[in-house]
Structure 1
Amino acid sequence: MNEPSYFAPAGGLPPQTDLLTDRAIVTEAYTVIPRGVLRDIVTSKFPGWRGTRAWVLAKPIEGFATTFAQYVVEVAAGGGSDRPEPEAGVESVVFLLAGELRLVVDGVEHRMTPGGYAFLAPGADWSVHNDGAQAASFNWVRKPYEAVEGLAAPESFVVHERDVEPTPMPDTDGAWATTRFVDPDDLSHDMHVNIVTFEPGAVIPFAETHVMEHGLYVLEGKAVYRLNGDWVEVQEGDFMWLRAFCPQACYAGGPGRFRYLLYKDVNRQIKLT
């Protein structure tokens, strides 16, 4: 297996001599936020965090994607939060892109390195700090947990990508594989945050059209993605935000692997009332 690579934005500002050209797209079916627009002046700061800034990539918007929020968070040396989650009943996934973090979950300490993955259950008592000398960056996905009567909520866990064997998609000879951090048959989970990997030349050979909303943060490589009839070029550090039923497909032309962190809402009945 090739050594994984994880892109993290660094901010900054283009020079005044640059032309206003980029790949940002906002439609009723999808949004593409390219890495080139993740600059210093569009960061957010959150109460209860020290030495921290965040690029907010997705938030619930009526009529679009409504189930989740997603950020890239950059924590300076010495920064962090004793109480990162301000809302009751919210679950999270933290995926470390760069640097190191000390994560404490329900009294248990974990030292996270790039590729580290933490599922933080609703109601978990957790904190996160950067004790290192360099900035740390992570993807943070938040979702209100949808409880089901008679079904216990899932428990928190911390793993590393290298310890989870990717699952090849059927009939692809391993060219398309998914690193699943949660058992798809475990109905206690109402969201999945996985890593999808395409080898050069691999494709999604049909237009996926489904009820799940998506947040896709590109970790590595480049590809062309089919979004609601448009072919869009994407590369590491780009973010794609898809509402329910947005047709989607992919062609990973290479030269290297194409990999992204994928959020989707799962395992719950459709609410009608």
Structure 2
Amino acid sequence: MTYAFPPGGLPDQTGDPAANGAIFTAAYALIPAAVQRDIVTSLLPRWERTRAWILARPLSGFAETFAQLAVEVEAGGGSEDPEPDFHAEGVLFVAEGEGRLWAAGGHHALTAGSYAYLPPGRPWAIRATTRLRLHWIRRRYIPVDGLAVPEFLLTSDAQTPVNWMPGTEQWGTTRFVDPQDLRHDMHVNIVTFRPGGRIPFAETHVMEHGLYVLEGTARYLLNDRWHEVGPGDFMWLRAFCPQACIATGDGPFRYLLYKDVNRHPALTFRGAP
């Protein structure tokens, strides 16, 4: 299995810059793989031999619950203190390469397809054995009285079955954590469509989304416009942005999906104490 990642590099001096299809609207952003280049990377404090594409961050009036990064770590690089926010939980999904993750008192091997859930307030560290490319999703955890914080979890795409939607095996979700486990306030899943599979209605819901296309092609409805998307394209959706999908091509269409779940909506009034 292969998983897409930002291509880096720089295109040549020919071509129309507007032809890449990047778009930012009040309801969504589409950041194609073709614009995920070297000049838009950032270095991260306390990370060595590492660069990152910051694809999403909390943005007032848009999507406010999460940050999403594509992180490239050269062999021997990594961090002993990677997470600057004590209250942040995280998910790592490895697109390419090998490394070691220290968490929950042990060392764990990382390879392509590895999935790690990192609880808030718990130390972890990471070191690349070869060049390591991974997707990192971060969120401020929302605690609930009477519910424990979720434990560290390490699993993989290969170890986790696809749960097909009722009445079809054309559209399904790889769920790395139990959706009934209310300790979790976010889900990071992989959604899979076989050729011709589709979301058969325009989903319109309160959850925010980050969707990174790992494999394949599709026509994707965002708000009121269809877009052709493929490996490495990133879609960033605010709450209530309508979305639907029709998979195209001869192989599966798969994307890594973030969504916020399992918490009451915050009721914040202007001027409230």
Q: CA RMSD in A?
A: 0.8
Task: Give yes or no for contact 1:65–1:242 (8 Å, CA) kept in 2.
Answer: yes
| 2:176 matched residue in structure 1 | 181
| 1:227 matched residue in structure 2 | 222
Specify which of 137, 153, 166 is matched with residue 141 of structure 1.
137
Specify which of 197, 203, 210 is matched with residue 215 of structure 1.
210
Distance across 2 between alignment mates of 1:92 and 1:207? 29
Specify which of 67, 80, 83 is matched with residue 81 of structure 2.
83
**Residue ranges of structure 2 left out of the alignment (5+ in a row):** 269-273
| 1:13 matched residue in structure 2 | 10
Distance across 2 between alignment mates of 1:115 and 1:52? 20
Residue 107 of structure 1 deviates from its aligned partner by 2.2
Q: Which amino acid aligns with 1:123?
A: G
DSSP-derived class of the 1:36 partner: helix
Residue 163, structure 1, aligned to residue 166, structure 2: no
**Structure 1 residue ranges, 4+ long, deviating more than 3 angstroms after superposition:** none
Distance across 2 between alignment mates of 1:25 and 1:190? 29
| 2:239 matched residue in structure 1 | 244
Residue 272 of structure 1 deviates from its aligned partner by 0.8
Give the number of aligned pairs: 267
The C-alpha deviation readout for 1:89-137, integer Å capped at 9, x for no partner, is: 10000000001111010321111110000000011210011122xx210
**Residue ranges of structure 1 left out of the alignment (5+ in a row):** none
Q: Which amino acid aligns with 1:13?
A: L
Q: Once structures 1 and 2 are overlaid, which stretch shifts more, 49-58 or 16-25?
A: 16-25
DSSP-derived class of the 1:162 partner: coil
DSSP-derived class of the 1:8 partner: coil
TM-score by length of 2: 0.96
| 1:49 matched residue in structure 2 | 47
Residue 18 of structure 1 deviates from its aligned partner by 3.1
Q: Which amino acid aligns with 1:129?
A: R
1:34-113 equivalence runs, <5 A: 34-113=32-111
The C-alpha deviation readout for 1:173-209, integer Å capped at 9, x for no partner, is: x111100001111000000000000000001000000
The C-alpha deviation readout for 1:2-60, integer Å capped at 9, x for no partner, is: xx320122311111123322110100000000000011110011110100000000000
Percent identity of paired positions between Structure 1 and Structure 2: 58
DSSP-derived class of the 1:252 partner: strand
| 1:256 matched residue in structure 2 | 251
Residue 266 of structure 1 deviates from its aligned partner by 0.1
| 2:271 matched residue in structure 1 | none
Residue 118, structure 1, aligned to residue 113, structure 2: no
Distance across 2 between alignment mates of 1:117 and 1:191? 14
Residue 150, structure 1, aligned to residue 165, structure 2: no
TM-score by length of 1: 0.96
